[in-house]
Chain A
Amino acid sequence: MPDELAVRTESIRKIYQSGDQSVAAVDGISFEVHKGEFSAIAGPSGSGKTTLLNLIGALDEVDEGRIWVDGTEITALGRGERADLRKHKIGFIFQSYNLIEVLSALENAEFILLLQGVDPAERQRRVRAIFERIGLDGLEDRRPHQLSGGQQQRVAIARAIATQPALILADEPTANLDSATGAALLDVMEELNRDLGTTFIFSTHDPRVMERATRLIRLVDGRIVEDH
């Protein structure tokens, strides 16, 4: 896999059983994402966007095909190795924020650094800098339920970028946000992409995200029907 590639997939398939029927959620997709891209995967519900993101993020296993992330073939890795790869190379942003309820905003954002074994002072330094940058200054000690949806998604972004991963996968990150908040978050992510060169792949329905993306991949029934 060439160095300039953040992601490469080769004929990947993921099949789900629904009663007696097999449904290919991802059906033989091959594509590449270059480092620094700000890509969006679009498509109707059930087209396989989230499944594709989960496979690239090593959250789920392919039934066929191979996937490389930042030069590592993740389809050849065991469970523990995939967890390690996620910890060091991939950041995730989920549609429903998925923050840890019992941790403060700051603790949520530094959680992956903690898993990486970064010392407390360094963790705090990095996370506070990110909070300042993405407008969470002063909210460090609040628990998730004390934050608005937009603020929670910002914390999720802070958590995803705190380790400076090679790739950030964002599953419909603006779906639960109002227009203004969604636009503001896209600004933040665009800025991170531009300034830090972080590769972003979104799955989205949101036309605003598609407009901002530098590349748009459309899926229908688990297959790529458009890529520009």
Chain B
Amino acid sequence: MDSVLLRIGWRNLWRNPRRTAITALAIAVGMIMLAFVLSLMAGMKRDLINQGTQLMLGQVQIHKRDYRPDRSIFDTVPLDGRALADQLLDRDDIFGAAPRVSAFGLVSSGDKSLGAEIVGMDRDAESQVTTLGRKLEAGDLPGRGERTIAVGRSLANTLGVSPGSELILLTQAADGSLGNDLYTVSGIFRTGLEMVDGGMVVLDLGVAQELLALEAGRIHEIALRSTSPARAMEVAAAIEQSLGVEDISVAPWQELAPQLAGWVAMSDSWMWIMYLIVFVLAAISVLNTMLMAVFERLREFGVMAAVGMQPRTIITMVLAEVISLALVSLLVATILGAPLVHWITNSGIDLSATTDGISMSGTVVDPVIRGAWAPAEFAVAAGLLVVCAALAGLYPATRAARTDPARLTRGEIR
């Protein structure tokens, strides 16, 4: 029975091929635009999260519970930090663990001085978590045990230093003394983020611990890379539970960079607004078409009811027609939209002529905006289209089904 209803619905769809084609094309164009925007937004969201988490943040960070936001030099992780980082690498969901120390101090060269964040990191461990090592314009990050320093491009310009130049660091040490030392510039990095390029210097972890009078096991944070940024919350919760240390906090990037998480949430909201706009338009198109299609066939519905078709079966038959229309529209949208999404995914829109990169929420977005395939989002959109079309078709279908067969056969409707 259902297959016959589908067959009738399908044939009815092509009674007026021009009307069906125009409606299907209108819906398909809406779906193509939606697919394009979904792809673009998925790509931007991916880039935003990747750039935001890969540069310095990591997907998850471990600290002493009171460390953030004041970041006191005294609040080190209450376990042997290096050993903990090694231990975390045994987990299946962790691919990189980078222990760090951090302090604020004065950077001087000649008669010029600037305030900056001094970060001590293990170059090899860091390369498994963040991409700072790939942002070098010159030289390299300090290697293990090397008494060298890497500085941001803006900071280097201000201080007038280049690889081989010497810098003096002055900072408060954890034993109450003043830590200070002379370092040779090993590299200059450029991330595009002014707060990093103009306000951060990098030392080797051990060398920084020595400057700050911290023992080898005392670190301020461990940055982690997990299977994907999307799993950060889940991974953070699992690690915190497995550590079971009250004084240790394990935070996902959403907690560490709430502005970034806010942008991501906002892009999700925009996605729903796009859904709403497209589906309201699609529903109006379907409603218009189906009102005409049903009202011009009232006598036929009357006959079907007269010979014993149940009202709910009449509704099912109209819905079969509506759903066929939605599926045809989706097919057209897929055929015409796939090359567009392929282009935006692979080539992208190049804005490099107008900007070097867009900095937002502590991250830098590439000037070439590329989309991403968003099959889950498109599947949701396709499902919603079918549901919206069915809801739009329900109105004329229900009216026809609720009218007495005698009135329908006279071409009247309730």
Contact = CB atoms under 8 A, between A and B. Distances in A.
Nearest to B314: A83
Interface of A: 54, 57, 59-61, 79-80, 83-88, 91-92, 94, 96, 98-103, 111-112, 114-117, 159
A143 B305 CA distance: 21
A87 B304 contact: no
Contact of A100 (B303, B311, B313): B303
A115 B8 contact: no
Contacts of B313: 115
B304 A100 contact: yes
Contact of B308 (A83, A94, A100): A83
A94 B405 CA distance: 12
A98 B300 contact: yes
B108 interface: no
A101 B300 contact: yes
Contacts of B306: 57, 59, 86, 92
A129 B306 CA distance: 24
B406 A79 contact: no
Interface string B402-414: 0011110100000
A88 B307 CA distance: 9
A86 B307 contact: yes
Mostly, the B contact residues are helix
Given A83-B305, A100-B304, A102-B11, A59 B405 contact: yes
Nearest to A108: B303
Contact of A102 (B8, B308, B309): B8
Contacts, number: 71
A84 B308 contact: yes
B299 A98 contact: yes
A94 B299 CA distance: 11
A103 B309 CA distance: 16
Contact of B12 (A102, A111, A115): A102
B307 A159 contact: yes
Interface in B159-215: none
A16 B303 CA distance: 22
Contacts of B311: 79-80, 83
B13 to A, nearest CB: 9
Nearest to A89: B308
Interface in B337-375: none
B310 interface: yes
Nearest to A143: B11
A61 B11 contact: no
Contacts of B303: 92, 94, 98-100
Contacts of A159: 307
B404 A61 contact: yes
11 contacts: A57-B306, A59-B406, A59-B409, A92-B306, A92-B307, A98-B300, A100-B303, A101-B15, A102-B11, A114-B1, A115-B1
B396 interface: no
A87 B307 CA distance: 5
B308 A87 contact: yes
A92 B299 CA distance: 14
B402 to A, nearest CB: 9
B404 A111 contact: no
A112 B405 contact: no
Contacts of A116: 308
9 shortest A-B CB distances, which residue pairs?
A87-B308, A102-B11, A60-B406, A59-B406, A54-B406, A98-B303, A59-B405, A86-B308, A112-B307
B300 A115 contact: no
B310 A102 contact: no
Contacts of A94: 303, 409
